[in-house]
Amino acid sequence: MSDFLLAAKLMKEADSLGAYQAVKYLSAKKVVRVTRLTWNRKIRVRDPVEFRLHIGRPNYLEVRHLEKCGEVPSQIQVRAFPKRRVS
């Protein structure tokens, strides 16, 4: 599957769950991550939904997560935070 199609799937899933971030590990050296752009970690109701896309090497915390798991997880990892809406 293309990285961009996978990113679109991640964006859709993160938006439906109201999640802050969704990560898919393709290998130990490559991840696809989408992060919702927020204002002070709050979801703004009036603003359009915006995501930042990252395709490339995992960051420090993701490398530690991979070392702890021992292998590449097959499922999408989703991080959520409590919903606080600002108008």
For position 1, what pLDDT does the model report? Answer: 62
pTM equals 0.71
- Rounded Cα gap, residues 29 and 83, in angstroms: 32
Q: Give the residue extent of every domain in the chain.
A: 3-81
For position 80, what pLDDT does the model report? Answer: 60
**Average pLDDT for consecutive 10-residue bins of the chain (87 residues)?**
78 78 84 82 74 88 82 67 49
For position 65, what pLDDT does the model report? Answer: 80
